[in-house]
């Protein structure tokens, strides 16, 4: 090969720095691509917090920023779960809010007046750039190929599986947690490789951060011990392993216990027991190794067998006793549903009612990961070819995450990083094989330095593929796949994951965007025109949004910590007015909010969610609320004139369809979601009155009437008023009517 | 306040502006008078005509009065009296000498009476003392905020709205009045109730279309301060738009050549409340039939030519119901601000608007000095609505560049009312505002005015003053002029600070990477 200026740049020490610079530029570009592909929603709509949970996080962040850290830590929120309230400071993962708060204060210190909302909206895209970088570091530990890390970073940056939870505005714990997950794994691998206390401590530090940020930290808590356990079983005990694990476990557990919500769980909850068990096991193994160096083999075998039997027996007995006595908490319901997908549906309807807790459909693997999903097994296979400690980690991670992703839609998120690693390993292997013209036999040696030196001195004969045709075919195929991947990711991100779901968009006949903004219309109405302490009752889905946008106390919200309270709301919604009204009065409810999509054909409305309310209420009051009563004798769920009397008398039905038929010509009222023609006579409400209905009727707010002035019950009062509509004016005039009564 | 008075007394007939140097020490806004204070009876109102205009959502009154000095000494202080409950709601008070209207307004000062007296006073300082037995015609104009009460206070959504206005047949003057009459102009001919009086022979009021005239009354014998209650009730089909607070920020950037405006409104509809709750069905039907509604549906907001990057948001984000229609070249752009929901009587709506303008059309360098700048900006813009808007409080903040000194301001005036009260009613203060990597903080001039109406946005006549005519100042907005000093080095402060900051970061990074903290044996 002729010496050219480019070669000067690519070889030797200047070549190394040139490659380093190039690598940095590529990484920065990847991060930029990761950030910008998440900005679709900001460009299409606006800088707005999305969906449900982010609204709570946003509200909590605002509280943190306004009241300081200690007030946030001790925050008792009396504006949710009325009248119970919520110990918010002790029942949340503060990592996300604290991160935004720190960013906010740093910017304030630099006197940059950035709105806290914009920080929250852009936090997830910002951290996705960091995730891409962490992914680069992690993958580089797995492969000696220089391209693997960059490919993995690029995959991680734009793969929809991760974008689905990290678009701008999706201000949820996952926004920073995935970065922390990947980075903690990187630090762990680094620690295991080097047997370094520093890396172990850093891993513990980031593990602590992860614990503060997301409940999914349990995944790390179990994966790292499993990795260690498998290594032990493979007979790969080493002092490196001992140093890194003990450092990580001791410091990491202490760090995790600093979070009030976690507290003593690491030593009391079954979810965390494997980490503790492996910690003990590792001590035993270390002790055994220590003893082995002093005792001859045969005696050692006997000693080992005896001690293993003894300790296993003791540990098991201890576990059983502690579990029975209740010191160690049993597995949580969400955890059980990981093993038995039907568990939640039977025992905890509230978990099953959340769409993201449903099992994953097969197409969504391809939808979220595209061609990575079929590179993934190959990547795992590659790890077997070269089975070092870190490759064992990839394999374990891959197996576990695949299972979890199959069980719950949202756990696709934990699968995505390892798929990116595995796919990058394969693709870089393919590219290296086909692109490198003179790879020596030591390509996959310990480090790059040695191999290049060895190359130059030895001048080994060329090994590998030299045919330009096969090179061209393979690389162009790979490039086509990569391009398709980019196109797919962009398409998915833009079409599936970039809707704020608070604001709905549709198209006008001329193609321009038409925004349906009913949620904010109604929430802002509440915020501006009701007393600051009005209690709003709605189904729990909207609790966080009401708290965030309308700033009014709610009865239940997306935190779902009190199933009975939610069931109470479900009962009020699904019962007759005579039953519901006392419930409303007892809970100081001023306004009731329902979501109704019948006019617009918006299918995510309360009538469609109604059966879950019924089911959850039935779980607590099986004799008062019965799901069967809402189905017709033929088992249909109907809202038209065939609807069951229970259905038609339920508060939810009445609130949804109140006055709806007046919008249509006589007898023409049609529900566009359920495609049903409604009865000509609309439902009559007597204990509530319509207070506000948004432009497209998506949100309907009802005011709970006060007790009747004359002590009548409301249905009588309404009947009286209706029967004497003409007299209403004279009644207003003065006390004469009262006297005649 | 002294500086201001000196300017006025040094009136030369050309300078038609009142100017104030903002000083750190608070100036006393009003003279405290004893509770039993009675203005000296040195004047007599020979003839008084009051015109009350009820076409907008506030009452606008204009009083033309011929004043005669009945004392033996020349007099220069004319007391204007208002009932105590009205006094606080008087907005944009302006007094002019009718004969020399182009000379600008007379100096008016609030003189609050100490205790809960029935009357409170404004003192009009006549530029030249009025000689005994000579006459002077004063034109007094002001608006009364929140003076219109909806009756009935609550109506059905589709009902028509009626407002009542109560006033005294005798103008509450501090002086004896010989003859007076009141003309009331209504927005429509539907006036179901009005007080009839027997204060004069013949029908009182005299009705002529939508104008009712009370008087003229011969009130020589009537003691000053006597009141005779009159209430009129008339149909008003539009909302009563009230801004309980308007915060208006104008931010000047020399580097960016940009004038950024942000306005924050706290709106309320003071019209009739809804008797029953809001019904969307009725609203949709009424909207379809285009029947008049008492709800605020839309605020039309003309923006000056060249306004760019408008935004309209409220506490929870973009107000997606609104539209911005950019104007063609050199034409006004239009912001059609539509609240998220129709704002019915008693409902609130708060929002903020903002846009940018090219600074060069507002700022020029002073002729006198290179480091001195003159900024001329509208005092109030606000929506342009047929029914008018009343502002209970307006806080205007002009954020000048970092390091601006010697800030002076004045409101530019023409020969007719500009809707603003006299300078003594405008509270001014200077503060610093730290933003965008400031070291010292920017100088911010805050002007607070209570009780304004959208009159302050319009003034009908062309401003023609020698001082400003060469700039072709033909505006329909009330302008405010701010002068300040700002040198080249003030402008360089920020780049230098940022450069030093970045270099220190690099230096620190370099220093840190060079520290060897390893515990290996060396």
pLDDT digit string, tens, across residues B307-325? 889 999 998 888 888 888 8
In a domain, B67, yes or no: yes
Tell me the pLDDT band of B164, cut-offs 50, 70 and 90: very high
Per-residue pLDDT, B362: 85
Domain check: are A300 and A243 in the same one? yes
Mean pLDDT across the stretch A237-257?
A: 93
Domain check: are B391 and B460 in the same one? yes
Asked if A528's CB is within 8 angstroms of B317's CB, the reply is no
Please state, in angstroms and rounded to a whole number, the distance separating the CA atoms of residues A667 and A658.
Answer: 14
B435–chain A Cβ distance below 8 A for any pair: yes
0.90 exceeded by pTM: no
DSSP A560: -
Please state, in angstroms and rounded to a whole number, the distance separating the CA atoms of residues A541 and A56.
Answer: 12
Per-residue pLDDT, B328: 76
**Tokens read off for A724:** 């004497």
**Tokens read off for A620:** 């607590």
**Tokens read off for A245:** 């694990």
Domain check: are A344 and A299 in the same one? no
Domain check: are A296 and A365 in the same one? no
In a domain, B280, yes or no: yes
Asked if B316's CB is within 8 angstroms of A662's CB, the reply is no
Please state, in angstroms and rounded to a whole number, the distance separating the CA atoms of residues B308 and B325.
Answer: 11
In a domain, A458, yes or no: no
Residue of B nearest to A114 (CA): B436
Domain check: are B255 and B355 in the same one? yes
CB of A120 within 8 A of CB of A49?
yes
Listing DSSP states for A272-325 in one string gives GHHHHHHHHHHHHHHHHHHHHTTS-HHHHHHHHHHHHHHHHHHHHHHHHHHHHH
Mean pLDDT across the stretch A340-358?
A: 72
A303 Cβ contact list (under 8 Å, min separation 6): A291, A295
Domain check: are A527 and A546 in the same one? yes
More confident residue, B169 or B201: B169
In a domain, A472, yes or no: yes
Listed residue (B319, B321, B313, B269) closest to B295, CA to CA: B269
Q: Which of A536-540, B239-243, B343-347, B371-375 has the lowest mean pLDDT?
A: B371-375
Q: What is the pLDDT of residues B375-428, one digit of tens each?
A: 888 888 888 888 889 999 999 999 988 888 888 888 777 666 677 887 778 888
In a domain, B323, yes or no: no
In a domain, B5, yes or no: no
CATH of the domain at B55: 2.60.40.1730
What share of chain B in percent tops pLDDT 90?
27
**Tokens read off for A581:** 């009204």
Tell me the pLDDT band of B455, cut-offs 50, 70 and 90: confident
Say which of A529, A549, A662 has its CB closest to residue B316. Answer: A549
In a domain, B93, yes or no: yes
Asked if A659's CB is within 8 angstroms of B341's CB, the reply is no
More confident residue, A11 or A420: A420
Q: Which of A44-48, A371-375, A507-511 has the lowest mean pLDDT?
A: A507-511
Mean pLDDT across the stretch B352-365?
A: 89
Per-residue pLDDT, B521: 67
| β partners of residue B399 | B251, B444
Asked if B318's CB is within 8 angstroms of A549's CB, the reply is no
More confident residue, B449 or B473: B449
B165 Cβ contact list (under 8 Å, min separation 6): B52, B54, B59, B147, B148, B149, B184, B231, B232, B234
Query: Chain A interface, mutation test: which of B320, B350, B402, B498, most A Cβ atoms within 10 Å?
Result: B320
Per-residue pLDDT, B475: 40
B448–chain A Cβ distance below 8 A for any pair: no
**Tokens read off for A364:** 């969504």
Mean pLDDT across the stretch B453-464?
A: 52
Domain check: are B263 and B188 in the same one? no
Asked if A663's CB is within 8 angstroms of B317's CB, the reply is no
Say which of B280, B350, B436 has its CB closest to residue A528. Answer: B350
Mean pLDDT across the stretch A214-227?
A: 92
B362 Cβ contact list (under 8 Å, min separation 6): B259, B375, B376, B377
Look at residues A459, A476, A501 and tell me which one is the last residue of a structural domain.
A501
**Tokens read off for A456:** 């130059």
Q: Name the packing angle between helices A146-158 and A412-435 (round to 10°).
A: 140
Tell me the pLDDT band of A27, cut-offs 50, 70 and 90: very high
Q: Taking 50 as the threshold, does the pLDDT of residue B129 lie above it?
A: yes
Per-residue pLDDT, A732: 45
Domain check: are A202 and A111 in the same one? no
Angle, vertex CA B168, rays to CA B167 and CA B169, nearest 5: 120
Q: Taking 50 as the threshold, does the pLDDT of residue B6 lie above it?
A: no
Please state, in angstroms and rounded to a whole number, the distance separating the CA atoms of residues B478 and A359.
Answer: 65
* Residue B216, preceding peptide bond in cis (omega within 30° of 0): yes
Listed residue (A595, A601, A610) closest to A656, CA to CA: A595
Other CB atoms within a 10 A radius of the CB of residue B330 amount to 7
Three-class SS state of A689:
strand
Per-residue pLDDT, A464: 66
Q: What is the pLDDT of residues B424-441, one digit of tens each?
A: 788 888 899 988 888 888
Please state, in angstroms and rounded to a whole number, the distance separating the CA atoms of residues A139 and A421.
Answer: 6
Per-residue pLDDT, A735: 46
Residues of A with CB under 8 A from a CB of B: 45-48, 110-113, 503, 515, 517, 520-525, 527-529, 548-549, 659, 662-663, 689-695, 697, 703
Per-residue pLDDT, B29: 46
Minimal CA separation from B434 to chain A, in Å: 7
Mean pLDDT across the stretch B37-59?
A: 90
Minimal CA separation from A697 to chain B, in Å: 8
Listed residue (A283, A289, A281) closest to A315, CA to CA: A281
Domain check: are B138 and B205 in the same one? yes
CB of B45 within 8 A of CB of B97?
no
Residue of A nearest to B518 (CA): A198
Kind and range of the H or E element at B394? Answer: strand B389-402
B321–chain A Cβ distance below 8 A for any pair: yes
Domain check: are B293 and B430 in the same one? yes
Mean pLDDT across the stretch A303-311?
A: 83
Asked if B318's CB is within 8 angstroms of A48's CB, the reply is yes
Count of structural domains within chain B: 2
Minimal CA separation from B58 to chain A, in Å: 23
Strands (E), A500-539: 504-507, 513-516, 535-537
Whole-Å CA distances, B259 to A8, A223, A297, B53, B376: 53, 57, 86, 36, 11
| β partners of residue A532 | none
Please state, in angstroms and rounded to a whole number, the distance separating the CA atoms of residues A566 and A572.
Answer: 10
Per-residue pLDDT, A487: 94
**Tokens read off for A120:** 């929250």
Q: Name the packing angle between helices A239-257 and A217-233 (round to 10°).
A: 160
Look at residues B235, B252, B282 and tell me which one is the last residue of a structural domain.
B235
Domain check: are B393 and B298 in the same one? yes
Q: What is the pLDDT of residues A396-444, one digit of tens each?
A: 999 999 998 888 888 889 999 999 999 999 999 998 888 876 544 444 4
Q: How many CB pairs under 8 A join A and B?
A: 77
DSSP A465: -
Domain check: are A72 and A161 in the same one? yes
Per-residue pLDDT, B115: 62
Phi, psi of B500 (to 5 degrees): -60, -40
DSSP A356: G
CB of A410 within 8 A of CB of A146?
no
Domain check: are A497 and A522 in the same one? no
**Tokens read off for A93:** 């993962």
In a domain, B308, yes or no: no
Burial of residue B105 (CB within 10 Å: 0-12, 13-18, 19+) is: buried
Say which of A112, A525, A697 has its CB closest to residue B341. Answer: A525
More confident residue, B477 or B69: B69
Please state, in angstroms and rounded to a whole number, the distance separating the CA atoms of residues A330 and B514.
Answer: 52
Per-residue pLDDT, A451: 46
Per-residue pLDDT, A391: 93
A28 Cβ contact list (under 8 Å, min separation 6): none
Please state, in angstroms and rounded to a whole number, the distance separating the CA atoms of residues B108 and B22.
Answer: 19
Q: Taking 80 as the threshold, does the pLDDT of residue B179 lie above it?
A: yes
More confident residue, A591 or B221: A591
- Can you give B424-447 as a three-state secondary structure string? HHCEEEEEEECCCCCCCCEEEEEE
Per-residue pLDDT, B290: 84
Torsion sign across C-alpha atoms A648, A649, A655, A659: positive
Say which of B277, B341, B434 has its CB closest to residue A690. Answer: B277
Write out the residue range of the structural domain in which residue A33 sits.
7-172+332-435+467-501
Write out the residue range of the structural domain in which residue B403 sits.
241-302+343-489
DSSP B252: E
Per-residue pLDDT, B5: 37
Mean model confidence pLDDT for chain A: 86
Minimal CA separation from B339 to chain A, in Å: 9
Pairing of strands A688-693, A699-704: antiparallel
Q: Taking 50 as the threshold, does the pLDDT of residue B469 lie above it?
A: no
Q: Which of A142-151, A558-567, B63-72, B93-102 has the lowest mean pLDDT?
A: B93-102
Please state, in angstroms and rounded to a whole number, the distance separating the CA atoms of residues A512 and B442.
Answer: 42
Highest mean pLDDT among A659-668, B341-350, B362-371: B341-350
Q: Which of B76-90, B98-112, B137-151 has the lowest mean pLDDT?
A: B98-112
B474–chain A Cβ distance below 8 A for any pair: no
Count of structural domains within chain A: 3
DSSP B206: E
Residue of B nearest to A522 (CA): B341
Domain check: are B258 and B215 in the same one? no
| Terminal-to-terminal C-alpha distance of chain B | 76
In a domain, B138, yes or no: yes
- Mark out the alpha helices in A326-388 (DSSP H runs): 333-339, 343-347, 349-352, 362-369, 372-385
Asked if A503's CB is within 8 angstroms of B315's CB, the reply is no
Please state, in angstroms and rounded to a whole number, the distance separating the CA atoms of residues A371 and A423.
Answer: 9
In a domain, B501, yes or no: no
Asked if A690's CB is within 8 angstroms of B278's CB, the reply is yes
A602 Cβ contact list (under 8 Å, min separation 6): A504, A595, A673, A696, A698
Q: What is the pLDDT of residues A517-532, one digit of tens each?
A: 999 999 999 999 999 9
Say which of B277, B280, B321 has its CB closest to residue A517. Answer: B321
Minimal CA separation from B217 to chain A, in Å: 37
Within 8 A of A528 by CB-CB distance, chain B residues are 347-350
Please state, in angstroms and rounded to a whole number, the distance separating the CA atoms of residues A701 and A673.
Answer: 20
Angle, vertex CA A561, rays to CA A559 and CA A566, nearest 5: 90
Asked if A110's CB is within 8 angstroms of B437's CB, the reply is yes
Domain check: are A166 and A51 in the same one? yes
Within 8 A of B348 by CB-CB distance, chain A residues are 528-529
Please state, in angstroms and rounded to a whole number, the distance separating the CA atoms of residues A694 and A599.
Answer: 11
Say which of A112, A524, A663 has its CB closest to residue B340. Answer: A524
| Terminal-to-terminal C-alpha distance of chain A | 111
CATH of the domain at A639: 3.40.50.12610
Tell me the pLDDT band of A7, cut-offs 50, 70 and 90: low
Per-residue pLDDT, A739: 43
B75 Cβ contact list (under 8 Å, min separation 6): B42, B43, B69, B126, B129, B130
Mean pLDDT across the stretch A81-95?
A: 90
Domain check: are B270 and B389 in the same one? yes
- Can you give B99-164 as a three-state secondary structure string? HHHHHCECEEEEECECCCCCEEEEEEEEEEEECCCCEEEEEEEEEECCCEEECCCEECCCCCCEEE
Within 8 A of A695 by CB-CB distance, chain B residues are 280, 341
Phi, psi of A533 (to 5 degrees): -110, 15
Order across the sheet with B119-130: list the strands. B75-83, B119-130, B107-111
In a domain, A741, yes or no: no
More confident residue, A214 or B24: A214
In a domain, A301, yes or no: yes
Q: Taking 90 as the threshold, does the pLDDT of residue A253 lie above it?
A: yes
Whole-Å CA distances, A527 to A269, A541, A546, B349: 42, 18, 9, 9
Query: Chain B interface, mutation test: which of A48, A58, A201, A525, most B Cβ atoms within 10 Å?
Result: A525
What share of chain A in percent tops pLDDT 90?
46
Per-residue pLDDT, A96: 94
Within 8 A of B284 by CB-CB distance, chain A residues are 663
Mean pLDDT across the stretch B352-380?
A: 86
Check: complex ipTM more than 0.95: no
Within 8 A of A524 by CB-CB distance, chain B residues are 314-316, 340-341
Query: Chain A interface, mutation test: which of B285, B286, B317, most A Cβ atoms within 10 Å?
Result: B317
Say which of B280, B347, B435 has its CB closest to residue A693. Answer: B280
């Amino acid at each position: 090969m002729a010496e050219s200026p480019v070669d000067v740049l690519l070889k030797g020490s200047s070549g190394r720095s040139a490659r380093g610079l190039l690598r940095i530029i590529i990484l920065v570009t990847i991060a930029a691509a990761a950030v910008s592909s998440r900005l679709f929603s900001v460009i299409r709509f606006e800088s707005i917090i999305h969906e449900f949970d982010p609204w709570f996080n946003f509200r909590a962040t605002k509280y943190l920023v306004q009241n300081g850290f200690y007030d946030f830590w001790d925050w008792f929120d009396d504006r949710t779960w009325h009248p119970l309230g919520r110990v918010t400071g002790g029942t949340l993962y503060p990592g996300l809010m604290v991160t935004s708060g720190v960013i906010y204060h740093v910017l304030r210190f630099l006197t940059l007046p950035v709105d806290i909302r914009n920080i929250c909206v852009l936090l997830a895209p910002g951290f996705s750039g960091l995730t891409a970088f962490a992914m680069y570091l992690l993958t580089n530990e797995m492969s000696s190929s220089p391209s693997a890390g960059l490919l993995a970073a690029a995959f991680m940056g734009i793969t929809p599986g991760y974008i689905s939870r990290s678009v701008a505005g999706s201000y949820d714990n996952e926004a920073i947690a995935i970065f922390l997950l990947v980075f903690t794994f990187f630090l762990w691998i680094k620690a295991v490789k080097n047997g370094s206390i520093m890396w172990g401590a850093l891993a513990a530090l980031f593990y602590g951060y992860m614990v503060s940020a997301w409940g999914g930290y349990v995944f790390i808590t179990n994966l790292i011990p499993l990795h260690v356990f498998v290594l032990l079983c493979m007979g790969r005990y080493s002092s490196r392993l001992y140093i890194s694990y003990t450092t990580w476990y001791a410091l990491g557990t202490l760090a995790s216990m600093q979070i009030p919500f976690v507290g003593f769980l690491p030593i009391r909850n079954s979810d965390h027991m494997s980490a503790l068990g492996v910690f003990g096991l590792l001590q035993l193994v270390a002790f055994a190794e220590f003893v082995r160096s002093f005792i001859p083999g045969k005696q050692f075998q006997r000693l080992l067998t005896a001690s293993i039997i003894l300790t296993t027996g003791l540990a098991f007995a201890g576990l059983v006793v502690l579990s029975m006595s209740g010191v160690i908490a049993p597995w949580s319901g969400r955890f059980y549903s990981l093993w038995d997908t039907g568990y939640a549906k039977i025992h905890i309807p509230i978990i099953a009612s959340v769409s993201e807790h449903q099992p994953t459909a097969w197409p969504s693997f391809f939808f979220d990961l595209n061609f990575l999903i079929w590179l993934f097994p190959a990547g795992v296979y590659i790890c077997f070819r070269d089975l070092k400690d870190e490759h064992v980690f990839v394999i374990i991670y891959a197996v576990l995450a695949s299972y979890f992703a199959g069980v719950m839609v949202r756990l696709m998120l934990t699968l995505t990083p390892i798929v990116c690693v595995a796919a990058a390993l394969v693709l870089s292997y393919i590219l290296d094989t086909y692109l490198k013209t003179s790879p020596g036999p030591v390509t996959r040696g310990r480090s790059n330095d040695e191999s290049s030196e060895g190359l130059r001195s030895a001048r080994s004969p060329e090994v590998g593929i030299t045919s330009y045709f096969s090179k061209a075919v393979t690389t162009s195929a790979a490039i086509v796949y990569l391009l398709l991947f980019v196109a797919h990711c962009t398409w998915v991100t833009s079409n599936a994951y970039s809707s704020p779901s608070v604001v709905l968009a549709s198209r006008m006949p001329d193609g321009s965007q038409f925004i349906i903004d009913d949620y904010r219309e109604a929430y802002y109405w509440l915020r501006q025109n009701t007393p600051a302490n009005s209690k709003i009752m709605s189904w729990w889905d909207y609790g966080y949004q009401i708290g965030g946008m309308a700033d009014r106390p709610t009865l239940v919200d997306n935190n779902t910590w009190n199933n009975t309270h939610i069931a109470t709301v479900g009962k009020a919604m699904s019962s007759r007015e005579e039953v519901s009204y006392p419930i409303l009065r007892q809970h100081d409810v001023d306004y009731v909010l329902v979501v109704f999509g019948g006019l617009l054909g918006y299918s995510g409305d309360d009538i469609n969610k109604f059966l879950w309310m019924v089911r959850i209420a039935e779980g607590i009051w099986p004799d008062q609320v019965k799901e069967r009563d809402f189905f017709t004798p033929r088992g249909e769920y109907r809202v038209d004139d065939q609807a069951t009397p229970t259905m038609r008398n339920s508060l939810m039905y009445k609130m949804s369809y109140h006055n709806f038929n007046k919008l249509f010509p006589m007898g023409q009222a049609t529900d566009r979601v359920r495609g049903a023609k409604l009865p000509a006579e609309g439902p009559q409400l007597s204990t509530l009155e319509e207070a506000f209905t948004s432009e497209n009727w998506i949100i309907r707010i009802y005011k709970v009437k006060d007790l009747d002035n004359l002590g009548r019950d409301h249905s009588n009062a309404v009947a009286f008023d209706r029967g004497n509509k003409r007299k209403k004016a004279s009644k207003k005039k003065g006390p004469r009517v009262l006297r005649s009564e | 306040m002294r500086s201001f008075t000196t300017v006025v007394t040094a009136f030369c007939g050309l300078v038609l502006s009142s100017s104030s140097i903002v000083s750190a020490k608070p100036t006393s806004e009003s003279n405290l008078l004893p509770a039993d204070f009675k203005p000296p009876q040195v004047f007599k109102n020979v003839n008084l005509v009051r015109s009350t205009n009820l076409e907008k959502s506030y009452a606008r009154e204009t009083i033309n009065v011929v004043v005669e000095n009945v004392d033996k000494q020349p007099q220069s202080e004319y007391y204007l009296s208002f009932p105590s409950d009205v006094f606080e709601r008087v907005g944009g008070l302006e007094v002019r000498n009718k004969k020399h209207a182009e000379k600008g307004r007379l100096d008016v000062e609030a003189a609050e009476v100490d205790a809960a007296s029935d009357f409170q006073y404004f003192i009009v300082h006549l530029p030249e003392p009025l000689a005994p037995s000579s006459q002077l015609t004063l034109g007094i104009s002001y608006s009364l905020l929140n003076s219109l009460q909806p009756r009935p206070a609550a109506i059905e959504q589709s009902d028509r709205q009626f407002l009542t206005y109560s006033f005294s047949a005798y103008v509450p003057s501090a002086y004896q009045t010989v003859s007076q009459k009141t003309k009331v102009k209504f927005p429509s001919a539907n006036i179901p109730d009005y007080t009839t009086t027997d204060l004069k022979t013949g029908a009182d009021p005299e009705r002529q279309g939508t104008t009712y005239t009370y008087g003229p009354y011969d009130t020589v014998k009537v003691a000053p301060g006597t009141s005779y209650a009159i209430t009129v009730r008339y149909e008003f089909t539009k909302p009563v738009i009230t801004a309980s607070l308007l915060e208006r920020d104008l931010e000047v950037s020399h580097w960016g050549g940009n004038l950024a405006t942000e306005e924050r409104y706290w709106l309320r509809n003071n019209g009739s409340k809804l008797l029953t709750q809001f019904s969307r069905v009725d609203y949709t039907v009424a909207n379809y039939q285009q029947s008049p509604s008492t709800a605020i549906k839309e605020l039309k907001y003309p923006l000056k030519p060249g306004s760019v990057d408008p935004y309209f948001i409220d506490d929870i984000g973009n107000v997606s119901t609104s539209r911005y229609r950019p104007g063609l070249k050199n034409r006004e752009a239009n912001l059609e601000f539509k609240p998220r929901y129709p704002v019915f009587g008693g409902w609130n709506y708060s929002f903020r608007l903002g846009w940018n303008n090219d600074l060069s059309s507002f700022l020029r360098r002073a002729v006198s000095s290179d480091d001195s700048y003159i900024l001329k900006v509208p005092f109030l813009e606000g929506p342009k609505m047929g029914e008018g808007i009343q502002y209970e409080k307006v806080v205007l903040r002009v954020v000048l560049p970092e390091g601006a000194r010697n800030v002076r301001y004045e409101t530019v005036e023409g020969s007719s009312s500009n809707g603003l009260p006299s300078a003594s009613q405008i509270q001014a203060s200077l503060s610093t505002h730290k933003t965008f990597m400031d070291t010292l903080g920017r100088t911010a001039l805050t002007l607070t005015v209570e009780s304004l109406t959208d009159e302050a946005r319009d003034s009908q006549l062309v401003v023609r003053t020698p001082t400003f005519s060469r700039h072709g100042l033909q505006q329909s907005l009330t302008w405010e002029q701010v002068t300040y000093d700002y040198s080249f080095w003030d402008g360089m402060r920020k780049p230098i600070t940022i450069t030093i900051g970045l270099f220190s970061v690099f230096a620190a990074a370099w220093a840190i990477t060079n520290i060897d903290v390893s515990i290996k044996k060396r």
